[in-house]
Amino acid sequence: MSFKNILKVFATINIILSLFFMLDIGIAIIYHEHYYKFLDFLLIFITFNALVFATLYKHKVDLKIRGSIITVNLIWLILGSVGAVPLMLYSHLNFASAFFEAISGFTTTGATVYQDIESLPHMVLFHRSLMHWLGGMGIVVLSVGLLSIINPNGGLSLFKAEATGVSIDKITPKIKDTAKTLWLVYIVLTLADALLLKFFGMGWFDAINHAFSTISTGGFSTKNSSLGYWGDNLAIVWITTLFMILSGINFIAHIKLFNDDFSGYKTSEVKWYFIIFFTLSILLTYYYYLNVGNNLIKASAHSFFTIASVLTTTGFATTNWATWGSGAIVLVFIAMFIGGNAGSTAGGVKVIRYVIIFKSIFSELKRVIKPNSMISVFVDGSKVGDKVILSVFVFFFLFLLTNVVIFLYLLFNGHDALTSLSAAFAIVGNIGPGFGNVDPASNFAFFSSTEKIVLAIAMIIGRLECFTLFVLFSPSFWKRF
């Protein structure tokens, strides 16, 4: 593993990141806000990384899987640190709070430390949404799409280290072409969402920011009350619901649709995704209608929105669903525990893992009844290998273990059980809001600096789906790979 390999990848990604952050400066200029300090930082940062890249220009990168895993983990720390700079400069956060906010942005968690979002400069608001948008598909996947300048042969290993889900379905012969196609679909969905939000009543600035947050399934808003600011505009509520659900579907399905191929939407995962979504939404609509007292049209709009937001781990809110009663909390918590599709921008456990887990359980039950029979697990007509099944169960264990550790850490630090438990699931699942003191009407500002750093690391663990970080603690990882 060459240090030069990792350094060149870092330099390339930092240059790309700096160029995107120049958009923040453009927003500041439009709204006549201060930006010189951040501009100075970006110029210094991009110059340094350009010099590093120029020095290593002729170095041919051959990044194997171990180097990719180390690179990806370190990249998230860099993203959090660089993304924190304008937050410290223009909203007076300390490093721990700014790092937490930046990691929450890039991991598309959407948990915030800001108590008055509407008082923030436009540049900061846009910066938060931009971090969501870049993190949604993955800044690393973007670099893979441009990998011809740094690593024409080893792109797949970096893509595997970053991409979420059980497996990667390569649509195009070259992985960099797959990444480019993913970003094209991502951009098209973002533009469509922004245009519809604008058409139905949002201003351009709010529409663009919320499109960034929606398609990335992030959850940062430009308003203190999130989408509740437009809660009476049911067209905006339903549009956002639609695009959250679309963003929670495997993006490979969207790519196939561009080629008039609907097979991506006919998978077991997508079918169960919609079954879960409609079942929970209808039940929540019924509960909300009976207990909160709104008319059925509003009850269905807010209920479907809430389940879509939590299921896709977006974290938007039109109302404070934590106050709807115990039945609503149970339904929302179930959605929190599931997540979206593998290969989407959503976080959580992912529907496909539950499909494999339950099919595996039923196959074992059949084997108990018929011990001599050969019973295999099939998903969409293909046999699921034993290694994949084991990987799914190991992930589920690591996911639960991480949540338990964070829950106990917060509990022992004096926070109540409901806040600690829901904060753990909301952070590790990259959801954002939870219950108790971190419900949709609250924020994460009350946590100590140390707790915010720990929670930021937990967000990274959730974003990388446990394996990419936990493998660093394996002695064999450092001996040989």
Query: Exposed, middle or buried by CB within 10 Å (0-12, 13-18, 19+), for 370?
Result: exposed
- Model pLDDT for residues 183-232, shown as the tens digit of each residue: 889 999 999 999 999 999 999 999 999 999 999 999 999 999 999 999 89
Mean pLDDT along residues 309-335:
89
| Range of weakest confidence among 114-128, 134-148, 247-261 | 134-148
The model's confidence at residue 281, banded by pLDDT at 50, 70 and 90, is very high
Mean pLDDT along residues 168-194:
81
Contact 116, 221 (CB under 8 A): no
Is a pLDDT exceeding 50 seen at residue 150? no
Q: What are the distances in angstroms from CA 427 to CA 32, 160, 273, 380?
A: 35, 23, 22, 32
Bridge-partner residues for 379, per DSSP?
Answer: 382
| Range of weakest confidence among 102-116, 279-293, 339-353, 372-386 | 372-386
Q: Which of 245, 251, 248, 256 is nearest to 278 (CA)?
A: 245
> Does residue 277 or residue 480 have the better pLDDT?
277
Is a pLDDT exceeding 90 seen at residue 27? yes
- Model pLDDT for residues 389-406, shown as the tens digit of each residue: 888 899 999 999 999 999
How much of the chain exceeds pLDDT 90, in percent?
60
| Range of weakest confidence among 34-43, 145-154, 189-198, 378-387 | 145-154
At position 342, the amino acid (one-letter code) is: A
If one counts every other C-beta atom within 10 angstroms of the C-beta of residue 404, the result is 13
* pTM, 2 dp: 0.92
Mean pLDDT along residues 470-481:
76
Rg of the chain, C-alpha, whole Å: 22
Torsion, Cα of 415, 421, 424, 425 (10° steps): -160
- Model pLDDT for residues 347-372, shown as the tens digit of each residue: 889 999 999 999 999 888 888 887 77
Buried b (16+ CB within 10 A) or exposed e, 272-295: bbeebbeebbebbbbbbbeebebe
Assign residue 466 a region: left if phi > 0, alpha if psi is -120 to 50, beta otherwise?
Answer: left
Contact 316, 227 (CB under 8 A): yes
- Where do we find the tokens 């140390």? 450
Q: Going by DSSP bridges, is the β-strand pair 382-383/378-379 parallel, antiparallel, or unpaired?
A: antiparallel
If one counts every other C-beta atom within 10 angstroms of the C-beta of residue 92, the result is 9
Q: Which of 137, 117, 299 is nearest to 218 (CA)?
A: 137
> Does residue 385 or residue 40 have the better pLDDT?
40
Q: 3-class DSSP state for residue 259?
A: coil
End-to-end CA distance of the chain: 10
- Model pLDDT for residues 40-90, shown as the tens digit of each residue: 999 999 999 999 999 988 877 777 778 788 888 889 999 999 999 999 999
Distance separating alpha carbons of residues 169 and 250, to the nearest angstrom: 10
Distance separating alpha carbons of residues 152 and 159, to the nearest angstrom: 13
Is a pLDDT exceeding 60 seen at residue 146? no
Mean pLDDT along residues 459-467:
89
**Where are the domains positioned within the chain?**
351-479
Contact 228, 305 (CB under 8 A): no
> Does residue 55 or residue 166 have the better pLDDT?
55
> Does residue 168 or residue 205 have the better pLDDT?
205
Q: Which of 14, 10, 41, 45 is nearest to 25 (CA)?
A: 41
Distance separating alpha carbons of residues 85 and 350, to the nearest angstrom: 33
Q: What are the distances in angstroms from CA 91 to CA 13, 42, 212?
A: 26, 18, 21
Tokens of residue 341, six digits: 């599709």
Q: 3-class DSSP state for residue 383?
A: strand
Q: Could you please report the per-residue DSSP string of 435-472?
A: SGGGSTT--STTS-HHHHHHHHHHHHHHHTTTHHHHGG
pLDDT at residue number 168: 60
Mean pLDDT along residues 238-256:
93
| Range of weakest confidence among 119-128, 173-182, 241-250, 446-455 | 173-182
pLDDT at residue number 153: 52
Q: What is the mean pLDDT of the chain?
A: 88
The model's confidence at residue 167, banded by pLDDT at 50, 70 and 90, is low
pLDDT at residue number 199: 97
Contact 71, 20 (CB under 8 A): no
Mean pLDDT along residues 426-436:
91
pLDDT at residue number 22: 96
Contact 207, 197 (CB under 8 A): yes
> Does residue 148 or residue 256 have the better pLDDT?
256
DSSP state of 389: H
pLDDT at residue number 368: 82
